[in-house]
């Protein structure tokens, strides 16, 4: 089937607005999928939605330019592969809308050094990238605030790991509004019930991340079924042996969470189904559930990534529609600050 695109604007006026972004900093993981992407498709049916490939965020850690270019298009294709419809949602590449960088600069001047210093992701990333603790890494949440506030988003679907950044976006919006009068919608987080935090398969006390240097720690959404089975089978668990949710069982808790997201079963139902069975049986079931969960996404992705002309068309239409909304908010904020608009 040939990919086609409708060229009329995607948004209607009345529904609540949501915006969410994903960084093209690697191949997205099962964590990104269960914690965020899977919800996005459902939310796009209900809300006026915008989804961005957050390429400006990705350069807060050093990227290989050739790889980054490829990953940006891969993540764009993934957004379509999960079922997002460019005729219904605005799907765009962040750097194609300059208003993001412009508003981020303005918001930097309304954000305190102290509040940014408390961000746990900055603390974590400055440890794991100790040779490149750049100002962009520090100011990342301000750019994220600009992303959200430009679209006057009511809700932001995020994994639990991003909750702190969303709180900063709310604080910045409230601060700006209290100085200049109502300018930005103050956004609420939308955190899905399941899959809010998928942990590394090799260190289940750390979240699963696409930039983890150890590929055994994450399942990528494009991994082949055999690779998925192998990674889940080698997931770190404990020596105790029972499949139930409990303290000190981070590895099993994580696998149960993943299995629950893929099958819809509750923790109690999973524990009952695997009573008397060993971790080997459980891991095989989790692996199969993950393979089936990701299969349609991977198959659709494989078709889409071949159609670069279509992907570019989607990005161009997305940038045009996103810019229209973003520029309106940017101009409003600039006027309030006292800038002379061109
Ligand atoms: N492990 C996770 N569990 C649940 N949700 C997750 N998300 C990320 N990791 C998990 C959610 O995925 C969305 C997109 O994330 P992102 O790519 O914008 O940024 P991130 O949180 O920094 O993701 P990664 O995979 O950890 O990337 P790197 O390794 O580059 O830092 C977000 O909604 C996020 O909450």
Render each residue's pLDDT in the chain as its tens digit; 342 residues.
456 555 444 544 579 999 999 999 999 999 999 988 988 998 999 999 999 999 999 999 999 999 999 999 999 999 999 999 999 999 999 999 999 999 999 999 999 999 999 998 899 888 888 999 999 999 999 999 999 999 999 999 877 778 899 999 999 999 999 999 999 999 998 876 655 689 999 999 999 998 888 999 999 999 999 999 999 999 999 988 889 998 889 999 999 999 999 999 999 999 999 999 999 999 999 999 999 999 999 999 999 999 999 999 999 999 999 999 999 999 999 999 999 998
Cα of 101 from ligand 1 centre, angstroms: 21
Query: 279-291: buried (b, 16+ CB within 10 Å) or exposed (e) per residue?
Result: beebbebbbbbbb
Beta bridge mates, 90: 50
In what order do the strands lie in the sheet containing 155-157? Answer: 90-93, 48-53, 17-22, 155-157, 188-190
Could you tell me if 119 and 127 are in contact, meaning their C-beta atoms sit under 8 angstroms apart? Answer: no
Q: Which atom of ligand 1 is nearest to the CA of 207?
A: 1
Atom of ligand 1 nearest to the CA of 160: 35
How much is the pLDDT for 4?
59
Distance 207 CA to ligand 1 centre (A): 9
Distance between Cα 209 and ligand 1 center (Å): 6
Q: Exposure of 76 by Cβ count < 10 A (0-12 exposed, 13-18 middle, 19+ buried)?
A: buried
Instruction: State residue 12's pLDDT score.
Output: 46
What does the domain layout of the chain look like in residue ranges? 17-195+307-337, 215-300
Q: Which of 210, 231, 283, 317 is catalytic?
A: 210
CATH classification (class only), 215-300 = mainly alpha
Kindly give the distance from the C-alpha atom of residue 331 to the centroid of ligand 1, in angstroms, as a whole number.
31
> Can 233 be counted among the known catalytic residues?
no
Tell the residue nearest (CA) to atom 2 of ligand 1.
31
Closest CA to 256 of 168, 57, 240, 272: 272
By residue count, the chain amounts to 342
On whether the pTM is more than 0.95, the answer is no
Residue 312: in which H helix or E strand, if any?
helix 308-337
Which residue's entry shows tokens 């095989």?
284
CATH architecture for residues 17-195+307-337: 3-Layer(aba) Sandwich (3.40)
Q: Which residues line ligand 1 (CB under 6 A)?
A: 21-23, 25-26, 29, 31-32, 35-36, 54, 158-159, 161-162, 195, 197-198, 207-211
| Closest protein CA for atom 10 of ligand 1 | 31
CA 227, CA 231: separation in Å to the nearest integer? 6
Residue 163 bears catalytic tag: no
- Is the distance from CB of 140 to CB of 121 less than 8 angstroms? yes
Protein residue with least CA distance to atom 5, ligand 1: 35
Catalytic: 230?
no
Which one of 17, 38, 207, 231 is the catalytic residue? 207
Question: 17, 38, 125, 317: which is the annotated catalytic residue?
Answer: 125
User: Which residue puts its alpha carbon closest to atom 26 of ligand 1?
Assistant: 209
Residue 25 half-sphere exposure toward CB, CA atoms < 13 A:
17
């Amino acid at each position: 089937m040939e990919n086609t695109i409708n060229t009329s604007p995607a948004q209607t006026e009345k529904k609540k607005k949501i915006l969410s972004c994903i960084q093209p900093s690697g191949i997205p993981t099962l964590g990104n999928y269960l914690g965020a992407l899977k919800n996005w498709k459902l939310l796009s049916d209900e809300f006026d939605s915008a989804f961005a490939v957050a390429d400006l965020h990705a350069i807060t850690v050093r990227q290989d330019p050739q790889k980054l270019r490829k990953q940006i298009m891969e993540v764009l294709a993934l957004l379509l592969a999960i079922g997002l419809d460019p005729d219904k949602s605005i799907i765009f590449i962040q750097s194609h809308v300059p208003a993001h960088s412009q508003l981020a600069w303005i918001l930097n001047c309304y954000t305190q050094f102290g509040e940014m210093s408390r961000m746990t992701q900055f603390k974590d990333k400055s440890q794991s990238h100790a040779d490149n603790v750049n100002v962009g890494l520090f100011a990342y949440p301000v750019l994220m605030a600009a992303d959200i506030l430009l679209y006057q988003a009511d809700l932001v679907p995020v994994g639990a790991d991003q909750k702190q950044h969303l709180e900063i976006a709310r604080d910045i919006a409230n601060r700006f509004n209290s100085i200049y009068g109502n300018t930005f919608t103050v956004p609420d987080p939308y955190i899905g019930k399941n899959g809010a935090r998928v942990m590394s398969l090799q260190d289940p006390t750390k979240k699963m991340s696409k930039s983890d240097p150890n590929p055994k720690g994450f399942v990528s959404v494009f991994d082949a079924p055999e690779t998925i089975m192998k990674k889940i089978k080698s997931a770190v668990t404990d020596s105790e042996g029972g499949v139930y949710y409990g303290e000190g069982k981070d590895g099993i808790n994580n696998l149960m969470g993943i299995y629950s997201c893929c099958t819809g079963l509750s923790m109690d139902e999973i524990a009952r189904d695997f009573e008397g069975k060993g971790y080997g049986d459980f891991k095989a079931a989790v692996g199969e559930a993950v393979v089936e969960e990701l299969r349609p996404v991977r198959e659709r992705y494989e078709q889409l990534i071949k159609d670069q002309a279509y992907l570019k068309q989607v990005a161009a239409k997305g940038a045009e529609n996103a810019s229209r909304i973003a520029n309106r908010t940017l101009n409003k904020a600039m006027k309030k600050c006292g800038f002379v608009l061109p």
